[in-house]
Amino acid sequence: MAVDSPTERTLSLTPHLTGARELSDHLQVDPDVGLSSAEVEARLAEHGPNELRSKDAVPLWRRILAQFQDPLVYLLLVAIVVSITAWVLEGAQGVPVDAVVIAAIVTLNAILGFVQEAKAEDAVAALATMTAASSSVLRDGRPTALPSADLVPGDILLLSEGDAVGADARLLDATGLKVQEAALTGESAATVKSATALSGEVALADRVNMVHKGTAVVEGVGRAVVTTTGMQTEMGHIAALLDRTEQQPSPLQVEIARVSRTLGALVIGIAIVVMATLAFVQGADSPQEWVTILLLGVSLAVAAVPEGLPAILSVVLAIGVRAMARRNAVMKHLHSVETLGSASVICSDKTGTLTRNEMTLRTIVTASGRVELSGTGYAPVGDAVLVADDDGEDEALLTEARLVLIGGSIANNATIAEQDGQWVVHGDPTEAAFIVATHKLAEVPERIDHYERRAEAPFTSERKMMSVLAHHDDRAENRVYTKGAADVLLDRCVAERHGDEVVPLDDAARARFTATVEELSGEGFRTLGVAYRVADDGGADHDVEHDLILAGVVGIIDPPREEARAAVAAARRAGVRTIMITGDHPATAQRIAADLGIIAEGERAATGVELERLDDDALVDLVREVSVYARVAPHHKLRIVDALQRDGQVVAMTGDGVNDAPALKSADIGIAMGITGTEVTKEASRMILGDDNFATIVAAIHRGRIIFDNIGKFLRYMMSSNLGEVVTVFFGIVLAGVLGLRDTANPDALVVPLLATQILWINLVTDSVPALAMGVDPEIDDVMARPPRRPDRPILDRPMWARILFTGFLMGAVTLLTMDLFLPGGLLAGSESFDTARTAGFTTLVLAQLLNALSSRSATQSSFHRMFRNPWLWAAIGLVVVLQIVVVHVPVMQQAFTTVPLTGMQWLVCLAMASVVLWAQEIVKFAHRVWARHRPAPVVDAPTAQV
């Protein structure tokens, strides 16, 4: 008889109605050890990854077929049918060259599209791996962090504030645990959790002893045993009932699609006009001539629309975003880059982002004096220097200082450990500073060992403090130790420790303590107060934080990052304002902000209390003037973001705590800390900082602007080049008599400037490869010397359209003049055959488009500026030139594309004529630069003026 596996038997239980111990036994897991690695592998093989079922992978054959599901491809397929039909009607002699060539081009275009899409998908998959959620679990007796996808039934989850719950799990124990379950139950308020077993019918929202996949821990700590994973979770059941929603296109995608549709309709109209004009002006006396007209019209419509643009856009974004990820700025979605380049304000936390996050406790101030500690960083090495007050004694000061460190270290969840010669912090760096400091004052570690933690009231951003109930084994005494913001803690204190005595905390003592906090804050220290009281042998909750005895205050320094000041200056130069938001004392915030150049000396900081008094309109006025906010709560961040957005700003907001998630979601670019950030903030963000460094944000904005510039470059290039093809064909037909475009060997033959196959060839070789190379172009213009791009400004604005039209008409003109130069008659008399003239015009247009690629790298800078910075572009140009030589000189390609060989001198003539496009644009750019140097300074729009 088969024996059910532990996880199979668990499915027959109802976890929320089962005791925690019984459930653990059924799952065959020791809650104090967790699963072994071998057992995890077996269960992962049984249950599969802890993931919601995604859309089934599209089969390879369907992905290939999708490359042909495009209206423009349908036109080409019609052209193939028309060509074959004409070939059959004429006796099916030889090979239907036009049909074969068009089919080959369709196939090559499909291959290029497939490869580009595959590259983009690979890049997106790599980014998804970088931003995958993680969970803390107990395995093999050791806490470890791992991807949530690796969770299995029986895993012991270690839950703390800011964690995203990775799977459905039954609580084993919970301390002050609150979980936000709105995504699952619709309840807006966080649910208080308990490990107690339930009975009877219990609704999902009332299962307080369960935590579920997709919810978030907003407060407290706990342990839970995983009961179900993947599609068996409550979130999985919901996912099974819902169709997967399609991702909404970004504004840039919408704009590109709109432009493509407009161009498509316009060019199809032009193609019809061209065909009608050709039939009217030159006539069509045979089926072959009608086929030629039809093929020309179809090819012109296909060539004029940049149908490869969406794929190229995705590839360029993917390449750019992966480059940003290698520099510690991970964008979760490709198209967030367009918003990043428009950011006009960065709202940044102070600790760890603008500073090094190497918190060092440097000073302890008590009733009897001050203790200065040496040493920096997390190495527990340093000395203590006692500076007693005039009426104080060293022994009393030492007693008080020890009490401060004991209290701060017991009301503490951080640990430090030496790894490979480096001291590493696990937990909050500020709390770690207390642990390090205990080793610098004699007897403190030994005295801490006498305490046993019994309960905890975790830190919350609303209370700004945490408390722990601890039992002293020698004195048989319970104490509550509380650590928190110094000015907030003072309101909870009624007495003060003096040596071995406790004295009432009178007004003079309160004033002295407040002055000490102000003094330390003015010196750039972050201040934390420590207090205690004797307590009953009960639990620790928020209600115990009263009638406290003040032990003292500490000053913790977190030096500014050396690169942060330069980054703030670079942001200001780019028209991006930096706002610092911190929970620190206003004086500390002002000192750090002034050191970093965020504000000038003497500029004020606004506080959370001040924000509470302001209505929304008044807050909009305030955020225009004030760049430092201190003693703020998370909901103040959300109000600041909303006020800035109402003022027309594009806001990037950093955050690390669970309560920062609403502000990150509301911001245009929510930025989560990759090192100290919680899973909740990472899920709410659009960008994750791998190094928690403010300079990385500015570097990402810089990179985002370069990427957006490159998109503009290849748009300008592709659309002007395609327009050049339309102009060549249209005016070549309309002005054929003026330009002498006729076949002297066969005067009655239908004459077109370019054949359908030639147009398609130009479209194939010049649209894709150079455009992709331009997408990875290095910085040509100084993108950080201009204000942010306004979000409502289209990428194809009037100046760009003017350049596209100018270049397109110029390319068409030089192509037609080249043909005229080779042909007898017309404006420029020549002596070559029509086939030679058309081959020369064909070649001139290809070369003109390649030179246009060089010129399109900047709308204002010379093409010779940083000309050789992009080897990929030169490789693309070289490849296209080689392919064009093959088309002109290899016999089989000559037959396919109706070309004839050109002499070396004729190639030079083609190159000289094509270079007119480059030189003309150089003259326009030079005139623009001269005008820009002498024009009056522009009036800056309001959103940019607040820098």
Report yes or no: 408 and 424 within 8 Å, Cβ to Cβ: no
pLDDT in tens, 884-909: 999 999 999 998 888 999 999 999 99
Strands annotated E in 820-892: none
Distance CA 569, CA 768 (A): 39
**Per-residue pLDDT, 9:** 43
**Per-residue pLDDT, 392:** 64
Q: Where do we find the tokens 């800056």?
A: 940
Strand partners, 144: 137
Q: Which two tokens stand for residue 459?
A: 């830190």
Neighbours of 533 (CB within 10 A): 21
pLDDT in tens, 541-566: 567 889 999 999 999 988 888 899 99
Question: Does the pLDDT value for residue 462 go beyond 70?
Answer: yes
Report yes or no: 552 and 404 within 8 Å, Cβ to Cβ: yes
Which H or E element spans position 810? helix 798-822
Question: Does the pLDDT value for residue 127 go beyond 60?
Answer: no
Residue that wins the pLDDT comparison between 127 and 661: 661
Comparing CA positions, the residue from 782, 724, 841, 808 lying closest to residue 575 is 782
pLDDT in tens, 159-213: 988 788 889 999 999 888 888 886 676 565 678 898 888 888 887 878 899 999 8
**Per-residue pLDDT, 132:** 64
Q: Is 506 a catalytic residue?
A: no
Comparing CA positions, the residue from 444, 454, 512 lying closest to residue 480 is 454
**Per-residue pLDDT, 940:** 41
Question: Does the pLDDT value for residue 34 go beyond 70?
Answer: yes
Comparing CA positions, the residue from 855, 850, 822, 859 lying closest to residue 837 is 822
**Per-residue pLDDT, 428:** 82
b/e burial code for range 239-258 (CB count within 10 A of at least 16 → b): beeeeeeeeeebebbebbee
**Per-residue pLDDT, 516:** 93
Question: Does the pLDDT value for residue 464 go beyond 70?
Answer: yes
Write the DSSP assignment of 54-103 as a string of letters: PPPPPPHHHHHHHTT-SHHHHHHHHHHHHHHHHHHHTT--S--HHHHHHH
Question: 216-228 and 168-180: which strand pairing?
Answer: antiparallel
Residues 6+ apart with CB under 8 A from 772: 116, 312, 315, 316, 714, 872, 876
- Kindly report the pTM of this predicted structure: 0.72
3-state SS assignment for residue 478: strand
Distance CA 144, CA 734 (A): 75
Report yes or no: 140 and 41 within 8 Å, Cβ to Cβ: no
Helices (H) and strands (E) in the chain, counts: 34, 27
Which H or E element spans position 347? strand 345-348
Question: Does the pLDDT value for residue 581 go beyond 50?
Answer: yes
Range in 302-311, 657-666, 881-890 the model is least confident about:
302-311
Contacts 24+ apart (CB under 8 A), 617-623: 619/643, 620/646, 620/647, 623/579, 623/647
Mean pLDDT across the chain, nearest whole number? 82
Question: Does the pLDDT value for residue 363 go beyond 90?
Answer: yes
**Per-residue pLDDT, 128:** 53
Distance CA 451, CA 479 (A): 9
Distance CA 555, CA 529 (A): 9
Amino acid, res. 77: L
**SS3 of 312-324:** HHHHHHHHHHHHH
Question: Does the pLDDT value for residue 841 go beyond 90?
Answer: yes
Which H or E element spans position 206? none
Nearest-Å Rg of the Cα atoms of the chain is 36
Question: Does the pLDDT value for residue 719 go beyond 50?
Answer: yes
b/e burial code for range 872-889 (CB count within 10 A of at least 16 → b): ebeebbeebbebbeebbe
Range in 3-7, 289-293, 637-641 the model is least confident about:
3-7
Q: Where do we find the tokens 């019209």?
A: 297
**Per-residue pLDDT, 203:** 77
Confidence of residue 54 (pLDDT cuts 50, 70, 90): low
Most trustworthy range by pLDDT among 235-239, 326-330, 600-604: 600-604
Most trustworthy range by pLDDT among 55-59, 214-218, 459-463, 927-931: 927-931
Question: Does the pLDDT value for residue 252 go beyond 70?
Answer: no
Residues 6+ apart with CB under 8 A from 35: 29, 43, 139, 140, 152, 154, 155, 156
Residue that wins the pLDDT comparison between 937 and 430: 430
Backbone CA torsion sign across 505, 507, 510, 515: negative
**Per-residue pLDDT, 939:** 47
Q: Which two tokens stand for residue 396?
A: 């009393």
Average pLDDT over residues 271-292: 71
Report yes or no: 356 and 558 within 8 Å, Cβ to Cβ: yes
Question: Does the pLDDT value for residue 225 go beyond 60?
Answer: yes
Write the DSSP assignment of 222-249 as a string of letters: EEEEEEE-GGGSHHHHHHHHSPPPPPPP
pLDDT in tens, 373-385: 998 888 888 999 9
Distance CA 745, CA 838 (A): 14
**Euclidean distance between the first and final Cα of the chain, in Å?**
76
**Per-residue pLDDT, 643:** 94
Pseudo-torsion of CA 619, 621, 626, 629, nearest 10°? 0
Question: Does the pLDDT value for residue 227 go beyond 50?
Answer: yes
Most trustworthy range by pLDDT among 233-242, 568-577, 579-588, 933-942: 568-577
**Per-residue pLDDT, 292:** 72
Distance CA 156, CA 141 (A): 10
Comparing CA positions, the residue from 834, 835, 817 lying closest to residue 826 is 817
Residue that wins the pLDDT comparison between 613 and 634: 613
**Per-residue pLDDT, 170:** 93
Neighbours of 611 (CB within 10 A): 23
pLDDT in tens, 190-199: 788 988 888 8
Report yes or no: 550 and 465 within 8 Å, Cβ to Cβ: no
Q: Which two tokens stand for residue 931?
A: 């005008």
Q: What angle do CA 883, 885, 890 make, to 5 degrees?
A: 95
Range in 69-83, 710-724, 806-820 the model is least confident about:
69-83
Question: Does the pLDDT value for residue 242 go beyond 60?
Answer: no
| 46 secondary structure, DSSP code | H
Comparing CA positions, the residue from 15, 47, 231, 31 lying closest to residue 151 is 47
Range in 240-244, 318-322, 591-595 the model is least confident about:
240-244
Residues 6+ apart with CB under 8 A from 549: 493, 494, 495, 496, 497, 502, 531, 532, 533
Marked catalytic residue, from 98, 349, 487, 642: 349
Comparing CA positions, the residue from 685, 689, 666 lying closest to residue 676 is 689
Which H or E element spans position 360? strand 360-366
Task: Supply φ then ψ for residue 665, to 5 degrees.
Answer: -65, -40
Average pLDDT over residues 811-819: 95
Distance CA 554, CA 529 (A): 6
Strand partners, 135: 146
Range in 266-280, 292-306, 503-517, 782-796 the model is least confident about:
292-306
Most trustworthy range by pLDDT among 203-212, 218-227, 392-401, 835-844: 835-844
